[in-house]
Structure 1
Amino acid sequence: MRRTCLAAVAALLVPALLGAAPGGSGETVSLSGTEPGQRLDVTLVRVVDPADPAGPEGPAPDASTRLVAVQLRLENTGTAVYKDSPAPAAHLLDTSGQRFTGLNTATTAGDSFPDTVTLSPGGAADGHVTFRLPEDSVPAAVQFALNGGLADDVGQWSLP
């Protein structure tokens, strides 16, 4: 039990110590990319847990897993065009310290982001990123970074 608690605390604190911008559901976090002029305001709109697959084409959960969908709003507040893939740029952390990478899996929670989102300065897009978690996993936080998740500036939203 103690090890699990320590892992959960580490999963939440390490990004904060490395410069992650904190936030809670509904909060907007401003993030920079690796190239000049890359800047997005990212808002965690809602979390749907569990999320049902939208059709047979996507990977459905089995008896040991479930899907969790996260709705994000991306607004280009920079001077450069934003062209990136939001799903692999998003991660979900659970209370045991596991990290899950986002998928472009359609769910009944709402529309997924396309594989590539292109936003001119001032443009905005809303969409869902889906995560496959073990059935007993408890989501603790969502993270997002530009440049396919590789930018140093990482936004993090704690989940209740």
Structure 2
Amino acid sequence: MHARTRIAAALVAVAVGALTITACDTGNTVVDKPKEHAAAKADSGKDAKKGKSSDAAKVGDTLTLKGFEKGSQLDVTVVKVADPGKPADEFTEPDAGKRFVGVQFQLVNTGKAVYSDSPSNGAQVADGEGQQFDSTFADITAGPSMSSSLRLKPGAKGLGWIVFEVPKGSKLDAVQFTMDSGFADQTGEWKLK
């Protein structure tokens, strides 16, 4: 019985390891074509290679992203960017040599499943050097923060700011968002330049 227990434990460890490897190998697709641009391109018959950089999503554009769960889908819009973002109170300051950057996201549940997540877990900003920065817990004067436990039924929307702490000298190039706390297969990307 003791040997069987060890074998069972080893099999469980292998299964968990395989699931962990699978979960970490996500974000295979970058979505950067806004809904309006994708439809216009299909209607006009333009070559997909022409004007590629000008067709990339930018602030104000909406991207449709899918999550892991069947029927899980969001229309995600980067509404505004506050760079630098001013702290909402005198107690919260970025670390020395850094600044706050706020990104206002609008999430609309266009799927059939309830969306339940902490959107800040799946949000990042990146600079032109390729450095990526995760969100931080801070409020800025630009407006209310995104809920850390957002639940949206189909058709519902959420709006709020997600704050990042980045080096003062970094020139931000892109904003990224991935459903399922950053583990879904599709990552939305908006260019800031």
Query: Shared fold by TM > 0.5?
Result: yes
Equivalences for residues 10-159 of structure 1 within 5 A: 18-22=28-32, 23-58=57-92, 60-159=93-192
Question: Partners in 2 of 1:150 and 1:103 — Cα distance?
Answer: 18
Tell me how far 1:56 sits from its aligned partner.
Answer: 4.1
- Contact 1:104/1:114 (<8 A) preserved: no
Structure 1 unmatched ranges of 5 or more: 1-17
Partner residue, 1:12: none
Question: Partners in 1 of 2:174 and 2:144 — Cα distance?
Answer: 21
Structure 2 unmatched ranges of 5 or more: 1-27, 33-56
Tell me how far 1:19 sits from its aligned partner.
Answer: 2.0
Question: Partners in 1 of 2:87 and 2:122 — Cα distance?
Answer: 21
Q: Kindly, what percent of the aligned residue pairs are identical?
A: 42
Tell me how far 1:115 sits from its aligned partner.
Answer: 1.2
TM-score (norm 2): 0.71
Larger Rg computed on CA atoms: 2
Question: Partners in 2 of 1:106 and 1:134 — Cα distance?
Answer: 18
Amino acid at match of 1:38: S
Give the 4+ runs in structure 1 shifted more than 6 A: none
Partner residue, 1:13: none
Q: Deviations over 1:65-124 (max 9, x none)?
A: 000000010000000000000111100001111100112311101111121100000000
Secondary structure of the residue aligned to 1:110 is coil
* Alpha-carbon RMSD: 1.4
Amino acid at match of 1:30: T
Amino acid at match of 2:74: L
Question: Partners in 2 of 1:101 and 1:107 — Cα distance?
Answer: 16
Question: Partners in 1 of 2:72 and 2:135 — Cα distance?
Answer: 21
Amino acid at match of 1:78: G
Tell me how far 1:31 sits from its aligned partner.
Answer: 0.2
Question: Partners in 2 of 1:28 and 1:104 — Cα distance?
Answer: 25
Higher RCO by CA contacts (8 Å cutoff, separation 6 or greater): 1
* Larger fraction in strand: 1
Amino acid at match of 1:139: L
Question: Partners in 2 of 1:81 and 1:103 — Cα distance?
Answer: 25
